[in-house]
Chains A and B, each alone.
Chain A
Amino acid sequence: MDRDRSHRAWYWLLLVPLVGLLVPPIYNHADPELFGLPFFYWYQLAWVPISVAVTALVYRKTREPEE
């Protein structure tokens, strides 16, 4: 069973959203605004698509063949 092992390096990418979101000093300010939203809000919301992209990439690279 080397199914997980051969792709294991890809899983490290999953740490990227954690770094982007768990260090508030990166985003804990009001400027620049976007569509009237302070940076604090749109920055964190922007991580939804980024995190999806990262997870989707990991999924594709580690996908097991469908039976």
Chain B
Amino acid sequence: MNGDVHELQLAIVIALFLLVSGLGFAASRWRKAESLENLDEWGLGGRKFGGWITWFLLGGDIYTAYTFVAVPALVFGLGAIGFFAVPYTIIVYPLVLLAAIRMWSVAYRHGFVTPADFVRGRHGSSALALAIALTGIVATMPYIALQLVGIEAVVKTIGVSGDLPIILAFAVLAAYTYSSGLRAPALIAFVKDTLIYIVVIVAVIVIPIQLGGFDDIFAAAGEKFSTDEVPNDGLVLTDAATVGYSSLAFGSALALFLYPHTMTGVLAARSRNTIKRNMVALPAYTLMLGLLALLGYMAIAAGVAPIGEDPNTIVPVLFDDQFPDWFAGIAFGAIVIGALVPAAIMAIAAANLFSRNIYKEYLNRDATPEQEARVARITSIGVKAGALLVVLSLDPQFSIDLQLIGGVIILQTLPALLLGLWHTFAHRWALLAGWAAGLLAGLLMVYDTPNVATGKEHFGGAQYALSNFGFDTEVTLYTGIIALSVNLIIVVVGSFVLRAMGAPAGEDVTRSEDFEVEAGDPNVRPLPGTPGQEEAATT
């Protein structure tokens, strides 16, 4: 089947792409604001997305094309371990509900657009804010690059070669993100999720029937795992892998809240209640993701062989084998659009960080809201070009390695961001020291992790063997959690010491009631037209 171009599939994917591109450009007129020339409008869609839009936006943000492609690929290769995405995306909502509504309130009250804005206002440290902003940008970039890997998997399956399709897709994406800001992915997310839901529902009904039911599917998968040589694979976890499994689920859930693009989706909501309702409704996507993960086993039962050793192609190839061309085309369109939505939100989040916390803070302190928005728009193009360059010029494995590190390093912003929502006990200098130590520890551990299966000596995964610390065990732990522990210990001890020494604390512009305000509360001013730190500082 491979070798020649599947024309019908290609035509459908192009048609869907053109449809969403039109929507992307039209989005600038959707719920039109007086002007898009400030970050509240361009970068947060005016902070007025209601329940449904927020649901689609956050769904598009969290459940990316890469997830749809990589999670089944992981299940295909390793079995039960790949299912960690399910507990991860269930516990994240109850876990971060309180933090998300507090962050929304304080950001609404003070006009914060980025996580680093909050850190600056709360801890009174521009150095710490810069650290948080840079961490966010660095962690987000490979995530954008990975969305391209998702598109690439589809393009390969359709049979088109060369880099031109990806370059074109990203150029169009960059253009409408530039012109419409966050409204573009919000509007496109409707199409994306409708398509994805249809595809998943059809896939989990039709494919198991064609393959003889789940009994046969799991039997085939069990057979594969028991005969191959891959360590730690299987239909259930090996005993040594259980701690790694739950620590990865827990760490990933914490990290998700800290990623700038998730924060962007949260801050764009209209009210606290909008966010709470979404924490109830978002797990619907998790059910879908869990069913999608099982496609990995269906691919085993169907005898799917990945194209060119790239395991990320197994879902597209499975669709190609099991569906008629027209429906496979729709499924591929869904994956491509599913890559564009999060890529746009991530680029906007990174651009907001650059504009607010680097350009305005260090390059042009007197920047007007118009200048802030313009810089963010241009940065969003730069961010996409950078991601494109990384994917085209380097081995895709490099992006995957970077993404692994991204989760580990974004977790190091937890003390400043998450704890900062409740306490100011942590001293700004201790937070900075903890961040640096956590980063260093995390990077060293990831570097020191070999991958036996692929024969790589370094950057072989984000599971660190506890035997490295001298324990006589095969147990591994998610590297991000270990690094975070180092970070937290330094924050706590350092804060005690610094306070005992009388080191000056940063100025906190927030008050405790700011964390509980709801939209429309009396005495909460309407949205500031020109949000900015100098304004927050005088509040």
Contact = CB atoms under 8 A, between A and B. Distances in A.
A39 to B, nearest CB: 8
12 contacts: A11-B98, A14-B97, A14-B98, A25-B242, A36-B213, A36-B214, A37-B214, A40-B80, A51-B90, A59-B276, A59-B277, A59-B280
A56 B290 contact: no
B217 interface: yes
Contacts of B513: 1
Interface stretch (B244-252, B347-355, B498-506): B244-252
B279 A35 contact: no
B83 interface: yes
Contacts of A3: 516, 518
A58 to B, nearest CB: 7
Contacts of A48: 90, 283-284, 286-287, 290
B91 A35 contact: no
User: Main SS of chain B's interface residues?
Assistant: helix
B97 A37 contact: no
Given A17-B94, A21-B90, A30 B272 contact: no
B390 interface: no
B417 interface: no
Contacts of B272: 64
Question: Which 7 A-B residue pairs are closest in the complex by CB-CB distance?
Answer: A36-B214, A67-B520, A14-B94, A24-B242, A21-B87, A36-B215, A22-B246
B236 interface: yes
A63 B276 contact: yes
A14 to B, nearest CB: 4
Interface in A14-67: 14-18, 21-25, 28-30, 35-38, 40-41, 44-45, 47-48, 51-52, 54-56, 58-59, 62-64, 66-67
Interface of B: 80, 83, 86-87, 90-91, 93-95, 97-98, 213-215, 217-218, 235-237, 242-243, 245-246, 249-250, 272-273, 276-277, 279-281, 283-284, 286-287, 290-291, 294, 512-513, 516, 518-521
Contact of A40 (B236, B273, B279, B518): B236
B505 to A, nearest CB: 24
B83 A40 contact: yes
Given A3-B516, A24-B245, A64-B273, A35 B214 contact: yes
B91 A52 contact: no
B90 A28 contact: no
B520 A58 contact: no
A53 to B, nearest CB: 9
B299 to A, nearest CB: 16
B236 A55 contact: no
Contact of A28 (B86, B218, B242, B277): B242
Given A40-B83, A64-B273, A18 B95 contact: yes
Contact of B94 (A35, A54, A64, A66): A54
Contact of A55 (B97, B218, B286): B97
Given A29-B236, A41-B83, A48-B283, 7 more contacts: A1-B516, A14-B95, A24-B242, A45-B86, A58-B94, A59-B276, A63-B276
Contact of A51 (B93, B215, B235, B290): B93
Contact of B246 (A17, A24, A45, A56): A24
Contacts of A16: 94
Contacts of B276: 59, 62-63
Given A28-B236, A28-B237, A38-B236, A51 B283 contact: yes
A51 B91 contact: yes
**Most chain B C-beta atoms within 10 Å of own C-beta, residue among A18, A54, A56:** A18
